Amino acid sequence: MPSAIGASVAPDTQKRVPDSRREILDAAAKLFLEKGYGDTSLRELAARVGMKAGSLYYHFTSKEQLAIEVLRIGVDTVAQTVRARIEEAGPVTTPAERVSIAIHAHLEALLLKSEYTSAHIRCFPYTPLAVQEELRAVRRAYEDIWARLIDDLLGPDRVEAEARYLRLAVLGALNWSLEWFDPKRDDAGDYAKALEQVILRA
Amino acid sequence: MPSAIGASVAPDTQKRVPDSRREILDAAAKLFLEKGYGDTSLRELAARVGMKAGSLYYHFTSKEQLAIEVLRIGVDTVAQTVRARIEEAGPVTTPAERVSIAIHAHLEALLLKSEYTSAHIRCFPYTPLAVQEELRAVRRAYEDIWARLIDDLLGPDRVEAEARYLRLAVLGALNWSLEWFDPKRDDAGDYAKALEQVILRA
DNA sequence: TAACCTAACTAACGACTGTTAGGTAACGCT
DNA sequence: AGCGTTACCTAACAGTCGTTAGTTAGGTTA
């Protein structure tokens, strides 16, 4: 009776096995976000997923490797979110429209969607140098998306240094929201709109 | 020969005694800035001022108290810098001029003047709750300066929520500069001017 | 059934943490 | 000359850290 077995398997196809690895990554992202890298202990992390500290080493070779993986997912998430939203808007958008879309998408990933992204933004600077090295490429790739967006916005007779400062100002206004955003009080979309208004007047 | 003694004392009046307490605070600010609160060890801090860890307890009652003192100096410095610059400009300034002055002053304190201020900005969120509690009032006082500045800029028919978002966006763009500012490449005044241009178009 | 793999466990290592108690030189004041 | 204070030291406490070695129960495959 293979059909009966097949039928009984069908309803819960995607995670018959409790995916411990993903659970660890999820919990690590949350802990890194709320405590930072150095103050996150593997024992507390293990406890949150119902394990002992030593068992984590079955899934990851070291705390640094774990951090690399978490923070990489963080950048990838926000980068893919922004790219996807711009793609969805079609090929005939103005530079200003694309900047607006990117602002909304960045905040969506940072504040609503991904603890990985917020963990990255918050604790990257206090991570061991080996971790920072490992993430340089992915971070650079995401920065380049914004460099392109801002360059298009300012047009061909922009001053390069000013474009850079504008980009960093926008990213600062976006990322700093982690420090004050309160879901009970604030709305990510509202803030995106406010920010978009300020920027799209130049 | 009291006059001779008096003359010999005069040249070095202000710090005949090497002010260890201030040296510790200075070194702590630097360490908090580069490593964060949790990863700053009292032994390394002591080593930087030529002491042993236990000796720090002659000057401070705990690591938390030390952090409170460092971070408080950080806010006080930036608040006094901003207030002083606005004061210097005289009583007949426009709201836009005052915002411009505040932007320059905030960046001056954050990036050039005070490791205390940058230490505060960078590691406040990862500080023990007791420390955060202790600093709530001073932080609030500085926020209020900016709330006033932005309110004046937007005028009486502003929307309260939008004023708040604008204020947080500006402070985000300012504070985030800690993450990318490189004295060899960047100029704090230039960034201030770029930022001022973006903001004073609304 | 025997061999192997998976996913966890326990127990311990050495290093490091903030903190405290007690000791000790050097100094100013009486 | 002696006393008290200042500003440090040494040594240790109890606890935590990341990490490793060795073990074990349950499932899969030969």
Question: How do residues A87-99 score in pLDDT, each as one tens digit?
Answer: 999 899 999 999 9
Q: Over 50: is that where the pLDDT of A184 sits?
A: yes
Answer whether B194 sits within 8 Å of A170, measured CB to CB.
Answer: no
Cut 0.95: pTM above it: no
Q: Helix, strand, coil % (nearest 5) of chain A?
A: 75, 0, 25
Give percent above pLDDT 90 in chain B: 88
| Domain A11-199, CATH | 1.10.357.10
Quote the CA–CA distance of B74 and A191 in Å, as a whole number. Answer: 28
Q: What is the H or E stretch that residue B135 is in?
A: helix B129-154
**Residue A14 pLDDT:** 37
Which of A's residues 119-148 have CB atoms within 7 A of nucleic strand C?
none
Of residues A156 and A202, more confidence is placed in: A156
Q: Looking at the complex, does the CB of residue B116 fall below 8 Å from at least one CB of chain A?
A: no
Q: From CA A2, how far away is CA A154, in angstroms rounded?
A: 63
B60 falls in which pLDDT band (50, 70, 90)?
very high
Contact A198 B194 (CB under 8 A): no
Residues of chain B in contact with residue A198, where contact means CB-CB under 8 angstroms, are 166, 169, 198-199, 201-202
Examine the pLDDT at A10 and tell me if it is beyond 50. no
The rounded mean pLDDT for chain A is 90
Confidence of residue B45 (pLDDT cuts 50, 70, 90): very high
Burial B24-46 (b: 16+ CB within 10 A, else e): bbbbbbbbbbbbbbbbbebeebb
HSE of B113, CA atoms in CB hemisphere, 13 A: 18
Is A78 within 8 Å of A109 (Cβ atoms)?
Answer: yes
As to burial, measured by CB atoms within 10 angstroms (0-12 exposed, 13-18 middle, 19+ buried), residue A198 is buried
Q: What angle do CA B168, A71, A196 make, to 5 degrees?
A: 30
Per-residue flag: A63 CB under 7 A of strand D: yes
Residue A18's pLDDT is: 65
Distance A30 CA to C11 C1' (A): 29
Q: Which two tokens stand for residue B162?
A: 């939008």
CA B70/CA B168 separation, integer angstroms: 24
Q: Is the CB of B9 under 7 A from strand C?
A: no
**So what's the pLDDT on residue B202?**
67
Q: Which of residues 44-73 of B touch strand C (CB under 7 A)?
A: 44, 53-54, 56-57, 61-64
Q: Where are the domains of chain A?
A: 11-199
End-to-end CA distance of chain A: 70
**pLDDT of A155 higher than 70:** yes
pLDDT of residue B175: 98
In angstroms, the CA A39 to CA A55 distance is: 20
Q: Is pLDDT at A26 greater than 60 in this prediction?
A: yes
Interval B62-89 mean pLDDT: 97
**Residue A108: per-residue pLDDT:** 97
Q: What is the pLDDT of residues A34-79, one digit of tens each?
A: 999 999 999 999 999 999 988 999 999 999 999 999 999 999 999 9
